Amino acid sequence: MLRLGRREFAAHEPVIMAIVNRTPDSFYDQGATFHDEPALARVERAVAEGAAVIDIGGVKAGPGDEVSAEEEARRTVGFVAEVRRRFPDVVISVDTWRHEVGEAVCEAGADLLNDAWGGVDPKLAEVAARYGVGLVCTHAGGAQPRTRPHRVTYDDVVADILRVTLGLAERAVALGVPRESVLIDPGHDFGKNTRHSLEATRRLGEMVETGWPVLVSLSNKDFVGETLDRPVKERVLGTLATTAVSAWLGARVYRVHEVEETRQVLDMVATIAGHRAPAVARRGLA
């Protein structure tokens, strides 16, 4: 059982996490949801299309202008409170590596802390434990926040992913984070080159076999772009193909920009796997 906020998700129930960036310089939407009203409209649309989790971020993942903890909190805390007010049943996640921001958004109603930088601030897990919220434990290859990988090497990238994410997950539980609310994430593109991210996808089943629910953040990332030689705005098909493979291998949570398209892919894979009935089955029966 996966439990996030007020929601419980069954073993074969895929979970869509919709990205809402409160940044003026996000790599994909270039700040389309930086201001409140477009961001709230994005939340409403994502929920209507099937997102169970809204992931709110206040700092661009890549290099750029410095964003202080105070500014990150300013971009996220009030918005978390408003989403909580308007959508009481949605799971609210906040993408942050800073414990100060984690504390503030938990006070505002967040249910999940998405630590995309692999525990670089160990106090963030302590915040999750203190508030009883969930935690995403990500492999970032030891990279510092907002840095790009440069000539990163691993003897075995998946072995390193398992070592790091399982260690972070067990530490979180030991601190008091509810076990059923801890996820592990291979961290595509974070501290990795394209071949590393492709291998992490190919061997995702090894993460699934650990028993921890696996989150994948694949949406329009560079490893998709480099694989197909496509710019950011032309990576949706590659993302959806990778999503289908990840779903077949057992990933549970999908952090995405395109909710409706992802929903269809996940429903199709679940139906092929025998976990979901077809929405309509008339062919050959009429």
Query: Looking at the domain assignment, is residue 4 inside a domain?
Result: no
User: Considering 22, 192, 203, 255, which one is annotated as catalytic?
Assistant: 255
At residue 30, does pLDDT exceed 80?
A: no
Over residues 274-281, the mean pLDDT reads 96
Please confirm, yes or no, whether 221 is among the known catalytic residues: yes
Query: Looking at the domain assignment, is residue 278 inside a domain?
Result: no
Over residues 5-19, the mean pLDDT reads 97
At residue 21, does pLDDT exceed 80?
A: yes
So what's the pLDDT on residue 1? 87
Query: Looking at the domain assignment, is residue 218 inside a domain?
Result: yes
At residue 34, does pLDDT exceed 90?
A: no
User: Considering 42, 75, 221, 235, which one is annotated as catalytic?
Assistant: 221
CATH number (domain holding residue 49)? 3.20.20.20
Percent of the chain with pLDDT over 90: 95
152 burial type by CB count under 10 A (0-12 exposed, 13-18 middle, 19+ buried) = middle
Q: Go through the chain and tell me how many residues it has.
A: 286
Query: Looking at the domain assignment, is residue 95 inside a domain?
Result: yes
Percent of the chain with pLDDT over 70: 100
pLDDT single digits (tens) 60-94: 999 999 999 999 999 999 999 999 999 999 999 99
Query: Looking at the domain assignment, is residue 244 inside a domain?
Result: yes
Please state, in angstroms and rounded to a whole number, the distance separating the CA atoms of residues 82 and 76: 10
So what's the pLDDT on residue 97? 98
Query: Looking at the domain assignment, is residue 258 inside a domain?
Result: yes
Query: Looking at the domain assignment, is residue 235 inside a domain?
Result: yes
So what's the pLDDT on residue 286? 76
Please confirm, yes or no, whether 123 is among the known catalytic residues: no
How far is the CA of 84 from the CAs of 21, 55, 143, in angstroms?
A: 16, 12, 32
When divided into structural domains, the chain yields a total of 1
pLDDT single digits (tens) 90-145: 999 999 999 999 999 999 999 999 999 999 999 999 999 999 999 999 999 999 99
Over residues 161-174, the mean pLDDT reads 98
pLDDT single digits (tens) 172-184: 999 999 999 999 9
Bridge partner residues of 113 (DSSP): 94, 135
Please state, in angstroms and rounded to a whole number, the distance separating the CA atoms of residues 52 and 12: 15
87: domain range? 13-25+34-273
Please state, in angstroms and rounded to a whole number, the distance separating the CA atoms of residues 98 and 241: 33
Mean pLDDT, the chain, integer: 96
* pLDDT range class, residue 273, cuts 50, 70, 90: very high
Is beta strand 15-21 parallel, antiparallel or unpaired with respect to 53-57? parallel
Over residues 229-239, the mean pLDDT reads 97
Query: Looking at the domain assignment, is residue 2 inside a domain?
Result: no
So what's the pLDDT on residue 28? 78
Q: 102, 92, 106: which is closest to 72 by C-alpha?
A: 102
Longest CA span, the chain: 63
Instruction: Find the range with the poorest average confidence among 25-34, 150-159, 162-171.
Output: 25-34
Look up residue 116 and give its two tokens. Answer: 């995309």
Q: 181, 175, 126: which is closest to 6 by C-alpha?
A: 181
pLDDT single digits (tens) 185-213: 999 999 999 999 999 999 999 999 999 99
So what's the pLDDT on residue 91? 98
CB contact set of 17 (below 8 Å; sequence gap of 6+): 51, 52, 53, 54, 55, 93, 215, 253, 254, 255, 256
So what's the pLDDT on residue 32? 87
At residue 29, does pLDDT exceed 80?
A: no
3-state secondary structure the chain: CEEECCEEECCCCCEEEEEEECCCCCCCCCCCCCCHHHHHHHHHHHHHCCCCEEEEECCCCCCCCCCCHHHHHHHHHHHHHHHHHHCCCCEEEEECCCHHHHHHHHHHCCCEEEECCCCCCCHHHHHHHHHCCEEEEECCCCCCCCCCCCCCCCCCHHHHHHHHHHHHHHHHHHHCCCHHHEEEECCCCCCCCHHHHHHHHHCHHHHHCCCCCEEEECCCCHHHHHHHCCCHHHCHHHHHHHHHHHHHHCCCEEEECCHHHHHHHHHHHHHHCCCCCCCCCCCCCC
At residue 43, does pLDDT exceed 80?
A: yes
